[in-house]
């Protein structure tokens, strides 16, 4: 392939030049190309990273402070859900991991308004009993059915009607029965229809909670089709919730 044959017309003439084979060695060319490929492979990114949209409440206008706060208190006790995220850290401020390499994240969960406080500044026993702790465990497939674990099970059950209706829609989309636009429109319709009964989640994070734990919590909202959630400010009362739970449930 790399040689150029010089044809002599088939006849041997007197004084004709000797038949020569020109052979070009491509090995250095290949070497160089390989080096360049290696360079490009190591120095480039093929994947674009993904983004997650977050909308925080708009900053409070001093003139409108009162109306804004009044609007925030409208949440019905029956629908209110609070989750507080905490991540365990060691003395070097690094995240602790379990045997499987997952970060040790705790999700404190209570329904309704904040647990009642007694006169001594501690939570009342009824209040303390409301607090539960879960972790992010995702879901597994067992016998063709999706089984939810941890906080996802709780949130899924709280928002069962919407989550299952949207999951059915998702299946239809996967089978190409409907396109993305119809899916989005229908999913929105379902969420709107159940707006009054679906949970209103407040997500709070301790100071030490890892960024990934907060993102996981936001993910749970998406997975469980919860459309009404907000990121709240972590207060001393929330610390009290955690402390009470830890005191009542020593490891």
Binding site for other proteins (CB under 8 A): 1-2, 23, 25-27, 29-30, 33-34, 36-37, 40-41, 43-46, 48-59, 85, 93-95, 102, 136-141, 205-216, 218-219, 222-223, 234
DSSP string, 191-209: HHHTTTTS-EEEEEE-TT-
In the complex, the smallest distance separating the C-beta of residue 9 from other proteins, rounded to whole angstroms, is 27
Residue 10 or 58 having the CB closest to other proteins: 58
In the complex, the smallest distance separating the C-beta of residue 185 from other proteins, rounded to whole angstroms, is 18
Residue 205's DSSP bridge partners are 85
**Token couple for 109:** 């969960």
In the complex, the smallest distance separating the C-beta of residue 115 from other proteins, rounded to whole angstroms, is 22
Dist. CA 125–CA 56, nearest whole Å: 34
Residue 81 or 209 having the CB closest to other proteins: 209
Residue 103 or 112 having the CB closest to other proteins: 103
Dist. CA 67–CA 82, nearest whole Å: 23
Residue 94 or 196 having the CB closest to other proteins: 94
Residue 23's DSSP bridge partners are 3
Which residues are CB-neighbours of 19 under 8 A, at least 6 positions away?
5, 6, 8
In the complex, the smallest distance separating the C-beta of residue 241 from other proteins, rounded to whole angstroms, is 16
């Amino acid at each position: 392939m790399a040689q150029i044959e010089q044809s002599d017309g088939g006849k041997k003439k007197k004084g004709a030049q000797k038949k020569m084979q020109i052979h070009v060695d491509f090995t250095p060319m290949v070497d160089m190309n390989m080096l360049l490929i290696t360079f490009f492979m190591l120095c480039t990114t093929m994947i674009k990273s993904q983004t997650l949209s977050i909308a925080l409440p708009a900053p409070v206008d001093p003139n409108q402070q009162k109306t804004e706060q009044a609007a925030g208190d409208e949440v019905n006790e029956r629908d209110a859900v609070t989750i507080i995220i905490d991540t365990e850290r060691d003395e070097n401020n690094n995240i602790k991991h379990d045997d499987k390499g997952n970060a040790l994240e705790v999700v404190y969960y209570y329904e309704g308004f904040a647990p009642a406080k007694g006169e001594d500044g501690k939570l009342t026993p009824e209040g303390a009993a409301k607090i539960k702790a879960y972790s992010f465990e995702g879901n597994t497939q067992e016998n063709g059915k999706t089984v939810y674990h941890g906080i996802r099970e709780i949130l899924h059950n709280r928002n069962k009607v919407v989550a299952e209706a949207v999951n059915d829609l998702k299946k239809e989309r996967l089978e190409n029965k409907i396109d993305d636009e119809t899916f989005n429109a229908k999913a929105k319709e379902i969420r709107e229809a159940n707006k009054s009964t679906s949970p209103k989640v407040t997500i709070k994070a301790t100071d030490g909670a890892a960024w990934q734990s907060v993102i996981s919590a936001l993910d749970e909202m998406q997975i469980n089709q919860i459309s009404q959630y907000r990121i709240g400010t972590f207060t001393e009362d929330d610390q009290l919730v955690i402390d009470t739970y830890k005191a009542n449930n020593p490891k």
